[in-house]
Structure 1
């Protein structure tokens, strides 16, 4: 088997080969993938055979009702999608600069970072780069890291969620997050001076998805106390949706202290007098390993460091 080389691959492979891999992975059907690319099915099939011949392994397994990536094929599809996302980003950035803009910065942020340090850092950056387009995607860390890996984001303010992710990303810690149980001000539990963890399971909960670090901390705390996980739950990563749900029904939620300052100041919410779980691990700046940041992203990172250095807020302990 001939050894693969990047030089030989660049001289032979075309963008249409990458597109075929991605479309075929999404549709699992050669006819549908060919139609998406405006090709005949025989032409698309030949492209796949050429790819498999060049790489020396089967990329897709031909099953009766679908075409499924092999183990090696799945890795090839992953890289194809990353390359296509990179190309799409290049085209967008160049077009923006042709039209007089100054590029685009795509940021992923967990909910705790959105109201805390990120707005001030972005405001400072925009003072220096007023024509820079900034986009913020607020989700849980696991979803943001997938987008970062696939080059749909420039950097993430969040947490690593798996032990092997240090192979893909660099992580710089910023702040840790204590968690608090919050309810609407008129919830029956809000007026109690003492609340036991077991009592919370009799109420509906609003929680992050099971894959999020916050949910895992909550589940671990319940397991340590020998308490079953609540079965009356609503799952969302949106802080605003969570807070609105609390006002409309006698529910409870677990949220980082950093996102509760303004809601508590409004008088519409109350924090229950108990601690649930340990503080979340530090969240921080996550970037792709061995890949230099754009000048705008590097400026934002520097500004985030300044914000953290100048404002490390104290966190009241639940009484």
Structure 2
């Protein structure tokens, strides 16, 4: 016989007890009485047929089963919070709201300047903006936590609609007093291991750089490996060598001692805006996308 599914309220109570570690603390979080919380936990355990907590020194510690339920249910609370915010906006008759996420190259580069001028023209627009990794942005756009995502080398995504903003290519960066700064074009053969800062081999751009080395049969060796192109630019300017990075991190770094040179073989770098295929982005979001495209074209 199947046990009935847990309700959102029961999950909320479980979550509060795990966070508070006592029924008294959970009661305060939930606005309930302590006996009501204790009774609710007992009823959930009876309903499920297994214990959820162990009591040690007057504190409640979740069992492995409770931890699994808690972890699996967290996305529900994220979606619920997003829905409540949207309902609040509707109640207050707000003109519009945009939740925007970007990867660091665009999020620390062109987008802040665009947002500054965009919000001046739309004073009633409320914006949430954050910089995160591309895979996390994709998930947030897919599940409705974000309206718009911006990133590089997105690739085909069945659940997303995308608008190409600009096609470019990755570049080599070095200090202006580095030997490579005298070259117009830098190749993999010009980047010895002791002087090369590599991008993370698990990231899209790190993979692309390694493939470029393979294409010309050049061994891929490095002295330092970093996650972000901006981090590579910081290390380059500190004198640790050269790196191959996206052009946006190089252009918007604002570092006077950084030289940017063409890298061969060419590694495409495509900037895109994207949104859920199930939820067309609002017109004001489309306007923002157009302004970011214009800003990139004039950068």
2:66 matched to 1:89? no
2:276 pairs with 284, 288, 297, which one?
Answer: 288
Given that 1:205 and 1:233 are in contact with CA atoms closer than 8 Å, whether structure 2 keeps it comes out as yes
Given that 1:184 and 1:270 are in contact with CA atoms closer than 8 Å, whether structure 2 keeps it comes out as yes
Kindly state the Cα deviation for residue 102 of structure 1 after the two structures are TM-superposed. 6.5
Deviates more, 1:169-178 or 1:90-99: 90-99
Kindly state the Cα deviation for residue 270 of structure 1 after the two structures are TM-superposed. 1.3
Any idea what SS the aligned residue of 1:250 has? coil
CA distance in 1, matches of 2:219, 2:45: 50
Kindly state the Cα deviation for residue 151 of structure 1 after the two structures are TM-superposed. 4.0
User: What does residue 275 of structure 1 align with?
Assistant: 264
Kindly state the Cα deviation for residue 142 of structure 1 after the two structures are TM-superposed. 1.8
Q: Give TM-score, length-normalised by structure 2.
A: 0.69
Any idea what SS the aligned residue of 2:140 has? helix
Which one has a larger percent strand, Structure 1 or Structure 2? 2
Given that 2:148 and 2:285 are in contact with CA atoms closer than 8 Å, whether structure 1 keeps it comes out as no
Whichever of the two has the greater Rg, that structure is: 2
CA distance in 2, matches of 1:253, 1:45: 59
CA distance in 1, matches of 2:191, 2:152: 27
Coordinate RMSD, CA, aligned: 4.3
Listed as ranges, the gaps of 5+ residues in structure 2 are 28-36, 50-62
CA distance in 2, matches of 1:35, 1:148: 33
Given that 2:160 and 2:274 are in contact with CA atoms closer than 8 Å, whether structure 1 keeps it comes out as yes
Listed as ranges, the gaps of 5+ residues in structure 1 are 3-7, 25-30, 53-64, 315-319
2:119 matched to 1:126? yes
CA distance in 1, matches of 2:241, 2:13: 46
CA distance in 2, matches of 1:194, 1:285: 30
Q: Give TM-score, length-normalised by structure 1.
A: 0.65
Given that 2:186 and 2:264 are in contact with CA atoms closer than 8 Å, whether structure 1 keeps it comes out as no
User: What does residue 56 of structure 1 align with?
Assistant: none
